[in-house]
Amino acid sequence: MAGKFVIERIKEAIKSTGLTQQEFCKKLGFGESNISRWAKGSRGLSVKSLKKIAEATGMPLSYFLDKSEPKNIQKNENKENKNNDVLVINLLQENNKRIDAEINLLKKEIEILKNDIKIIKESVC
């Protein structure tokens, strides 16, 4: 689920384009209900989608992720902001890899626990 802050920033950035959310989503090839699904958590917001939104609105990725960024931030006009976006994307991708690794470890631990429970049940009977 995308955080409330991220969703609000996406909505603000889309509004700055002069398009409706539905028009914007259609323009980027997203389903018309993607934003509400991201907000509800029924659909995950990928780094790729967020990058697409940032590029289409001209906002740096940090605008969507960093609460210290002012709402009236200037749109991406210079190379420095684009380099910062690359760094943000790399950090997000690294974070996703760490989360995936943690999920895999937890899945293995669950399997071990299931096996332990099975052994305990068999020894009790």
Question: Which of 51, 110, 60 lies closest to 80, judged by CA?
Answer: 60
DSSP 7-58: HHHHHHHHHHTT--HHHHHHHHT--TTHHHHHHHTSS---HHHHHHHHHHHT
Contact 74, 64 (CB under 8 A): no
The band of 61, judged by pLDDT with boundaries at 50, 70 and 90, is confident
Q: Measured on CA atoms in the order 37, 38, 44, 45, is the torsion positive or negative? A: positive
The band of 1, judged by pLDDT with boundaries at 50, 70 and 90, is very low
Q: Where are the domains of the chain?
A: 4-124
What topology is assigned to 4-124 in CATH?
Answer: 434 Repressor (Amino-terminal Domain) (1.10.260)
| CA trace torsion 26, 31, 36, 37 (10° rounding) | -160
What does pTM read for this prediction?
Answer: 0.54
Question: Which of 85, 44, 61, 48 lies closest to 10, judged by CA?
Answer: 61
pLDDT, tens digit, for every residue of 79-115?
555 666 677 777 777 777 888 888 899 999 999 999 9
